[in-house]
């Protein structure tokens, strides 16, 4: 899964608006020059230390309007921001001047990296509290513009040819299976759950997600189903068991492939479910049904046409496809620098306005669209709780820096779904206008 940029503006301060100071202007420009002397490790009288401290306060005051944020700089100086309203108050300690300076000049990377490396700590709470405060304040900002440079950077980072796609998948999904077992549900569903009623457990909500997708696919025994981006095989195995269909799952993760194949053999489904290490662009069809869950985020915007052309090519004339993916309420520009560097290289979160043109050009009918709001926020909340409960074990698998990196990833992702316009869309597709009933009654849980 993916989330949007922590702040969709060019910097947290958004100094690029007309009439406002720019980070690229004096005196801000000098902060980014590597030839300048480094900030000292504690001189309260250092002009550079005072300058960085002052500019960080200017940056933060631009968007911390509600709640309370106390920032303690390396010399022990506290700065209190916000109106103090509400119960959410957070204290952040910045331990070194380099981290402080980077927060001013490169906030997208600096906040996550500072937390990972120990240069930033949250006192009296956790990183999720800080990001909740930030998210609530950023939710009031409505500038979604991006520069031409942003667009170019995003395009180059998302080309995702076959070799790059496999590298990007390995970066995240070929981590230890024991990591994922510590915070996912028993079926290893690593995508948005479906909380169809209050109080559902994560296991119940993930089972409901699979059931909801199966209903939209309108399955019948003996049908040929393609699962694009099959993960560890849970959905494919469930569809085969519950609906009597034959499933082919494709993935680019060698570890996921091995686990999926082992699970199929254990459940004696290897005769009806097969898993392959294969790019969606190379699959041969046709199939009666196609499902893709949590994979479209990794396709990359330059490949949207190739993706939907592949679905059109692989789908039988009377077939049905369902694409379940993270989306956004508006076009956002490139993925957050920290997410792209550490979590999901090559990923992109699309607005429906960016997706639908490619579907239309592929000659497919959009037969249904459902928007899942806040379901992923609740999923991430459950994952965060499980991660915290098993943190010592995960640190034993990797180390403390890795744990802080994943804590930040899970928390910033939840914040994006609660406050920054992220959601999940499920798009149902067909090649024929009469491929499905003309009412939605069949999608209801029987």
Domain boundary residue, one of 104, 138, 172: 138
Question: Is position 351 within any domain?
Answer: yes
> Are 337 and 434 in a shared domain?
yes
Question: Is position 51 within any domain?
Answer: yes
Give per-10-residue mean pLDDT for the chain (446 aa): 42 31 27 33 54 82 88 92 84 94 89 96 93 85 48 51 65 83 97 96 98 98 98 98 98 95 97 96 96 94 95 98 96 84 86 97 98 98 98 96 96 95 97 95 78
Question: Is position 199 within any domain?
Answer: yes
Q: Which CATH number do you get for residue 91?
A: 3.30.1050
Q: In the prediction, which pLDDT does 166 show?
A: 64
> Are 121 and 184 in a shared domain?
no
Give the separation between CA 383 and CA 386, rounded to whole angstroms.
5
Q: Which CATH number do you get for residue 374?
A: 3.40.50.150
Q: Which domain holds residue 124?
A: 28-138
Q: How many domains does the chain have?
A: 2
- The CA-atom distances, in angstroms, between 162 and each of 2, 159, 167, 300 are 20, 9, 9, 12
> Are 113 and 193 in a shared domain?
no
Q: In the prediction, which pLDDT does 160 show?
A: 60
């Amino acid at each position: 899964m993916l989330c949007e940029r922590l702040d969709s503006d060019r910097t947290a301060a958004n100094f690029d608006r007309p009439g406002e100071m720019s980070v690229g202007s004096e005196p801000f420009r000098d902060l980014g020059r590597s030839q300048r002397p480094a900030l000292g490790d504690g001189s309260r009288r250092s002009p550079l230390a005072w300058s960085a401290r002052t500019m960080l306060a200017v940056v933060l005051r631009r968007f911390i309007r509600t709640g309370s944020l106390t920032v303690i700089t390396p010399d022990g100086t506290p700065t209190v921001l916000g109106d103090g309203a509400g119960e959410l108050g957070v204290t952040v300690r910045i331990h070194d001047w380099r981290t402080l300076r980077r927060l001013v000049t490169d906030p997208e990377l600096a906040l996550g990296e500072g937390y990972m490396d120990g240069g930033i700590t949250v006192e009296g709470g956790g990183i999720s509290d800080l990001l909740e405060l930030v998210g609530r304040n950023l939710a009031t900002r409505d500038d979604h513009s991006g520069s031409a440079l942003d667009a170019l950077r995003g395009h180059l980072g998302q080309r995702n040819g076959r070799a790059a796609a496999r590298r990007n998948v390995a970066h995240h999904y070929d981590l230890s299976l024991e990591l994922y077992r510590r915070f996912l549900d028993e079926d290893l569903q690593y995508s948005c759950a479906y909380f169809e009623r209050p109080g559902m457990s994560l296991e119940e909500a993930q089972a409901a997600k699979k059931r909801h997708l199966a209903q939209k696919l309108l399955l019948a025994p003996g049908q040929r189903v393609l699962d694009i981006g099959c993960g560890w095989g849970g959905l494919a195995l469930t569809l085969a068991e519950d609906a009597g269909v034959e499933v082919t799952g494709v993935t680019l993760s060698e570890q996921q492939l091995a686990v999926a194949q082992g699970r199929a053999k254990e459940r004696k489904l290897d005769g009806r479910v097969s898993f392959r290490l294969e790019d969606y662009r190379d699959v041969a069809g046709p199939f009666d049904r196609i499902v893709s869950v949590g994979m479209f985020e990794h396709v990359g915007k330059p490949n949207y046409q190739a993706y939907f052309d592949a679905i059109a090519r692989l789908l039988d004339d009377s077939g049905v496809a369902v694409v379940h993916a993270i989306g956004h309420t508006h076009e956002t520009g490139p993925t957050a620098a920290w997410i792209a560097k550490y979590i999901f290289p090559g990923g992109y979160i699309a607005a429906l306005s960016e997706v639908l043109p490619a579907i239309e050009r592929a000659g497919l009918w959009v037969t249904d669209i459902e928007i899942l709001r806040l379901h992923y926020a609740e999923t991430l909340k459950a994952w965060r709780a499980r991660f915290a409960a098993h943190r010592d074990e995960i640190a034993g698998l990797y180390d403390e820096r890795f744990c802080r990196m994943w804590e930040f990833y899970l928390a910033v992702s939840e914040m994006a779904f609660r406050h920054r316009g992220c959601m999940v869309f499920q798009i149902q597709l067909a090649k024929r206008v009469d491929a499905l009933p003309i009412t939605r009654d069949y999608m209801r849980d029987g």
